[in-house]
Amino acid sequence: MLEELSKAGRYLGQTMRLMVGLPEYGTYVTHMENTHPGEPMMSYEEFFKERQEARYGGNGRVGRCC
């Protein structure tokens, strides 16, 4: 029961962050470790800045509805 609740809480946090364009940092780290071992990896702060720029920085993409 408690485990389920904490899992639901984690998903809720993930959902709220993704709503504003921030995917899981942990997933990124796992991905880099598994597929690009030894290559430079962004810190959380760099990751955050990179994602912020990607979401709002433009290139003409429309990210949300009216």
- Residues engaged in binding other proteins (CB under 8 A): 11, 13-24, 27-32, 35, 44-45, 47-66
d(CA 39, CA 56): 27
| Chain centroid offset of residue 65 CA | 21
Q: Which is nearer to other proteins, 6 or 31 (CB)?
A: 31
CB 63, min distance to other proteins, A:
6
| Type of residue found at 29 | V
Instruction: Of 8, 22, 26, give the one whose Cα is nearest residue 55.
Output: 22
CB 24, min distance to other proteins, A:
7
Q: Which is nearer to other proteins, 6 or 27 (CB)?
A: 27
Greatest Cα pair distance in the chain: 45
CB 55, min distance to other proteins, A:
8
